[in-house]
Amino acid sequence: MNRFLPLTVTTLTAIAITGCAAERPSLSDASLPVIQHIHGIVADPRGEDLFVATHGGILTLAPDGEMSGPIAGEDLDAMGFTLRGETFFASGHPGTQTPSELGAPNLGIIRSDDFGETWSPVSLTGSADFHVLTAGPDGTLYGLASSNADLLVSTDDGRNWFSGAALSAVDLAATEEGIYAAAEQGLLRSSDRGATFAAVEGAPLLYSLAPQPDGTIAGIGTDDALWVQAADGAWERRATLSGAAQAFTITDDGRFIVADERGIVEITPETTTIIAPSQ
């Protein structure tokens, strides 16, 4: 996994816009997946596996640490990646095996209804590169595109997008309470589908966000710590990471999954377990 330099407020934006310029290995170069950079992690709703969106495709990580993929041999660079129900939505750049109809040099918005076995174009094909994608509980999609300063919002499965507030943010997370944004000025929240945002008082400075099962928020701070919001809005510093996080998610049963310099790590209130060590 790539390693980041120590974080400061002024480097917050650089985390999200760092490009993936590493040379892609051929799919036949090695028998095991090579992780060049992780863009996102989501839990497989069918069981205990994790889906890991990387520079070279979507990988599957089993609880015992076995990594496989990329799924279907598709090595697209999934810069933006989210799971809504049983549908993947992704954005980024084509790989060496990507069908031309998905777009180049940017994928726009693509979707898979069979957990990555096949993909189809949805919108902005060839033109847009979303570095952040997330889905709200009501099905609304929110995104941050590399060429657009506004939050982008879609209420029709990504076919059409409208602009929300101008937003200098590096990550998003949606709950029943609204859409949260990790920005240089702090954690922001919108209760009107991103039209306007207000500061979340007392929140630490975060650069990676994920919704908790109870509707509150957790995030990774610029102090390399996992911060968890309680039901009353208070924040608890839960764990210290090893360097900066590349990706962060929370499973439905409340496990925190983070990719940092150690590898892909599971954090619970009782234990910290490295599921897949850094290569």
Q: List, for residues 213-224, the tens digit of each pLDDT value.
A: 999 999 999 999
Which of 3-17, 50-64, 206-220, 257-271 shows the lowest mean pLDDT across its residues? 3-17
pLDDT tens column, 59-72 = 999 999 999 999 99
pLDDT tens column, 78-115 = 999 999 999 999 999 999 999 999 999 999 999 999 99
Residue 143 has what pLDDT? 97
Residue 251 has what pLDDT? 94
pLDDT tens column, 29-38 = 434 455 668 9
Res 207 pLDDT > 90: yes
Q: What is the mean pLDDT of residues 144-160?
A: 93
The DSSP code sequence of the chain is: ---PPPP-GGGHHHHHH----SPPPPTTS-SS---S-EEEEEE-TTSS-EEEEETTEEEEE-TTS-EE-SGGG---EEEEEEEETTEEEEEEE--TT--GGG-SSB--EEEESSTTSS-EEEESTBT--EEEEEE-TTS-EEEEETT-SEEEEESSTTSS-EEEEE--EEEEEEETTEEEEEETTEEEEESSTTS--EE-TT---EEEEEE-TTS-EEEEETTSEEEEE-TTS-EEEEEE-SS--SEEEE-TT--EEEEETTEEEEE-SS-EEEEEE--
